[in-house]
Amino acid sequence: MKTTFSAADRKGWMSLLATADEARLTELWQGCGIDPVCEWLRPPEAGGVMVRGRMGGTGAPFNLGEMTVTRCAVSLDDGTVGHGYVQGRSKAKAAMAAKIDALMQTGAAAGVRKAVLEPLAEERQAKTSARAAKAAATKVEFFTMVRGED
């Protein structure tokens, strides 16, 4: 059974999976208790993506250097296609990402969202805020010394 979802929604969960910590993703995925039968459309392969920056932060693009990425694609029994694109070289992580991407397009979406994606999103948010809180503590609070009046 297919469900409807927007491209923005799909972009959201694929992005979350791309940066997820592998150990944590494995734990959540196993806890989810679903492991659908699927067929490889593209077995996991590691490769590089050239990261670009912009001159002066806003100008014309230039090539900064590569990063490792692993990708794969699976097809569920009902023909639903899932893609995994994850940072790093873990084939297992790419496979989980592709299966989750496929399931998120089916009736299992709500369950997977609750069991895997929501905890991942919360933890990512918590990690970002924890760093931002430490950075905030190193912000300089300038004060002007009172000059002598006479």
Partner 1 sequence: MSLETPNAVYAGGFSNPPVAAAHAFRAAMNAMARPGEVQDITGAAPPDGISVAAGSLLLTLCDPETGVYLAPGTDSGALRGWLAFHTGAPVVPAEQADFALGSWEALMPLDRFRIGTPEYPDRSATLIVDTPGYYGTNAVLSGPGIKETARMQLPELTAFQNNAALYPLGVDFFFTSGSLVAALPRSTGITREA
Partner 2 sequence: MYVAVKGGERAIENAHAWLAEERRGDTSVAELSLDQIREQLSLAVNRVMAEGSLYDPELAALAIKQSRGDLIEAIFLIRAYRTTLPRFGYSQPVETGEMACDRRISATFKDAPGGQVLGPTFDYTHRLLDFKLAAEGEVPEAPVSEPRLEATPHISEFLQGEDIIEREPSSDGVPGDLTREPMSFPAGRAVRLQSLTRGDEGFILGMAYSTQRGYARNHAFVGELRIGTVPVEMDIPELGFAIEIGEVELTECETVNQFKGSKTVPPQFTRGYGLVFGQSERKSIAMALVDRALRWEELGEDNVGAAAQDEEFVLSHADNIQATGFLEHIKLPHYVDFQSELELVRKLRREAAEMAETLAAREAAE
Nearest Cα to Cα of residue 38 among 6, 82, 88: 82
41 binds partner 1 (CB under 8 A): yes
Separation CA 119–CA 125 (nearest Å):
10
Q: Which segment (26-34, 102-110, 113-121, 137-145) binds partner 2 by CB under 8 A?
A: 137-145
- Is 40 in a helix, a strand, or coil? strand
Of the pair 33, 79, the CB lying nearest partner 1 is at: 79
Nearest Cα to Cα of residue 46 among 105, 92, 81, 2: 92
State CA 29 to chain mean position distance: 14
126 binds partner 2 (CB under 8 A): no
Q: How big is the CA angle at 139 (ends 133 and 143), to the nearest 5 degrees?
A: 140
144 binds partner 2 (CB under 8 A): no
Of the pair 31, 53, the CB lying nearest partner 2 is at: 53
Separation CA 56–CA 10 (nearest Å):
32
81 binds partner 1 (CB under 8 A): yes
In the set 27, 31, 35, 51, which binds partner 2 (CB under 8 A)?
A: 51
Residue 87 binds: one of partner 1, partner 2, none (C-beta under 5 to 8 A by kind): partner 2
For every residue of 42-65, DSSP letters joined together read: EEEEEEEEEEEEEGGGTSSEEEEE
Of the pair 2, 89, the CB lying nearest partner 2 is at: 89
Q: How many residues does the chain have?
A: 150
Binding site for partner 1 (CB under 8 A): 5-7, 10, 41-42, 45, 73, 75, 79, 81
Binding site for partner 2 (CB under 8 A): 7, 10-11, 14-15, 18-19, 45-69, 71, 73, 83, 85-89, 128-140, 142
